[in-house]
């Protein structure tokens, strides 16, 4: 489900004109990695069809980050641009959150099937994940929002911006803007909310 819709809805991928081939080159890795986490959730309708998924992880300040996390991936050039951007957004999170925060719930991917959007499903999934994360010792929640609608909702929910990157400032080696957004989004924001 995520692969089938992600190339048509994820703002960075849409801006790059990603195809299903591009999406398949990296999204299944994340689905397989994070779906196993006890803080991830899948929502099904009455017909037992998946309509939403929120892939999450718990990250710790003193946890060693694996340099070969993406070594198994063979992303296309477009997928690699998205990955590089997201790594840039999140690579210094521990210097940005308060120093007493040692464990966070990280929202990795949230996807709601287009015919189920606007029903509060994403917000309900996040609330459920926060309760579970608190019980597991997390002190807050973090996510990178790449579109204006999600950014507005996160800030309204009390998330604090930690880092902002304007899309017009993210350029390739020739100085060309990489992400020419198709919606009103002009930036990506890494946000954090303390529990």
Predicted local distance difference test score (pLDDT) of residue 34:
87
Q: Confidence band (pLDDT; 50, 70, 90) for 131?
A: confident
For residue 184, what is the domain's CATH number? Answer: 3.40.630.30
Average pLDDT estimate for 93-119? 92
Residues 140 and 193 sit within 8 Å (Cβ to Cβ): yes
Number of domains within the chain: 1
Residue 78 has a pLDDT of 94
- C-alpha distances in Å from residue 156, one per residue of 106, 138, 171, 191: 18, 21, 30, 12
Percent of the chain scoring above 90 in pLDDT? 54
Cα 185-128-31 angle, rounded to 5 deg: 65
CA gap 37, 33 in Å, rounded = 8
**What H or E segment, with its residue span, contains residue 165?**
strand 160-166
* Structure confidence by residue, pLDDT tens digits, 76-90: 999 999 999 999 999
Structure confidence at residue 122 as a pLDDT band (50, 70, 90): confident
Residue 76 CB-density burial (10 A; 0-12 exposed, 13-18 middle, 19+ buried): middle
Please tell me the predicted confidence (pLDDT) of residue 4.
67
What does the pLDDT read at residue 190?
A: 97
pLDDT score at 64 = 61
At residue 144, the pLDDT reads 96
Give the domain extent around 60: 2-194
**Contact 105/138 with Cβ under 8 angstroms?**
yes
Instruction: Note the pLDDT tens digit of each residue in 149-186.
Output: 889 989 999 999 999 999 999 999 999 999 999 888 99
Using one digit for the tens of pLDDT, what is the confidence trace for 1-37?
Answer: 666 667 677 889 999 999 999 988 888 888 888 888 8
Which tens digit of pLDDT belongs to each residue from 47-74? 999 899 889 999 999 876 655 556 678 8
């Amino acid at each position: 489900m995520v692969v089938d819709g992600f190339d048509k809805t994820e703002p960075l991928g849409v801006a790059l004109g990603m195809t299903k081939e591009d999406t398949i080159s990296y999204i299944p890795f994340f689905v397989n990695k994070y779906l196993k986490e006890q803080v991830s959730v899948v929502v099904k309708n009455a017909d037992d069809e998946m309509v939403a998924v929120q892939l999450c992880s718990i990250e710790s300040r003193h946890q060693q980050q694996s340099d070969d996390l993406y070594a198994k991936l063979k992303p296309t050039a477009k997928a690699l641009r998205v990955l590089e951007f997201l790594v840039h957004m999140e690579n210094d999170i521990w210097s940005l959150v308060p120093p007493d925060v040692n464990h966070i719930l990280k929202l990795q991917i949230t996807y709601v099937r287009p015919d189920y959007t606007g029903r509060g499903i994403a917000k309900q999934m996040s609330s459920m994940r926060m309760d579970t994360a608190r019980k597991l010792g997390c002190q807050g929640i973090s996510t990178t929002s790449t579109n204006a609608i999600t950014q507005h909702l996160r800030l309204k929910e009390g998330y604090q911006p930690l880092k902002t990157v304007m899309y017009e400032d993210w350029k390739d080696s020739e100085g060309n803007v990489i992400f020419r957004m198709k919606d009103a989004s002009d930036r990506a924001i890494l946000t954090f909310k303390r529990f």
